[in-house]
């Protein structure tokens, strides 16, 4: 839903047919990953945060399922995947294991402001502020 890199950039190495469009050689192609994540022809209820959807779909992030490419795909895909895959999950699991968390300023989860700011990378406009609550 919130890809770190919302737009991927490629240059066509040769003339190609892309979904019926002729793409001449050396064309700059912008891949709208953000829009793919919100596409109801790819995802059921695309605007709902449903991580469990991946348990059954078998979709993986390693660049072979083209509807889901948070690390890009192909020869220029993220070379930090093995590192990120270990660190992000480990860090998140550690934080969740040791603490319960509540949102700052009495904000409710259902009302969290997820407005995004677009740039080369995607940011939350309102930074996530959470307070650890010792179990
Ligand atoms: C959750 C963490 C990360 C995400 C979501 C992410 C995502 C991405 C994406 C979308 C690209 C562009 C891929 C494309 O154009 O197909 C990229 C490129 C790249 N990433 Fe990451 N990345 C992450 C972590 C890392 C880490 C930890 C490293 C290094 C230790 C890293 C190194 C790189 C490099 C070097 C490229 C450029 C690859 C190239 O152009 O050949 N990334 N990353």
Quick: pLDDT tens for 73-125.
999 999 999 999 999 999 999 999 999 999 998 989 889 999 999 988 999 99
- By the 10 Å C-beta count (0-12 exposed, 13-18 middle, 19+ buried), 30 is classed as exposed
Give the global pTM.
0.89
Domain ranges of the chain: 1-80
pLDDT digits (tens, 9 = 90+) for 50-81: 989 988 888 899 999 988 899 999 999 999 99
Rounded to the nearest angstrom, the distance between the alpha carbon of 77 and the centre of ligand 1 is 7
pLDDT of residue 59: 86
Atom 26 in ligand 1: which residue has the minimum CA distance? 80
- pLDDT attached to residue 38: 93
Torsion angle of alpha carbons 12, 13, 14, 15, nearest 10°? 0
Question: Which DSSP category does 31 fall into?
Answer: E
Handedness of CA 9, 12, 16, 22 (dihedral sign): positive
Atom of ligand 1 nearest to the CA of 3: 5
Q: How many Cα neighbours within 13 Å face the side chain of 21? A: 8
Q: How far is the CA of 79 from the centre of ligand 1 (A)?
A: 6
Instruction: Provide mean pLDDT across the span 13-38.
Output: 95
Q: How many A from CA of 5 to the centre of ligand 1?
A: 9
């Amino acid at each position: 839903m919130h890809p770190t890199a919302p737009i991927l950039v490629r240059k066509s190495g040769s003339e190609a047919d892309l979904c019926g469009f002729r793409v001449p050689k050396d064309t700059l192609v912008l891949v709208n990953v953000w829009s793919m994540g919100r596409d109801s022809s790819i995802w059921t209820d695309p605007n709902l945060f449903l991580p469990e959807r991946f348990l059954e779909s078998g979709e993986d992030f390693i660049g072979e399922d083209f509807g889901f490419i948070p690390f890009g795909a192909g020869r220029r895909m993220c070379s930090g995947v093995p590192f990120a895959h270990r660190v992000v999950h480990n860090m998140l699991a550690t934080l969740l294991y040791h603490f319960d968390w509540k949102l700052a300023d009495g904000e409710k989860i259902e009302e969290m402001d997820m407005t995004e700011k677009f740039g080369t990378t995607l940011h939350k406009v309102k930074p996530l502020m959470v307070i650890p609550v010792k179990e």
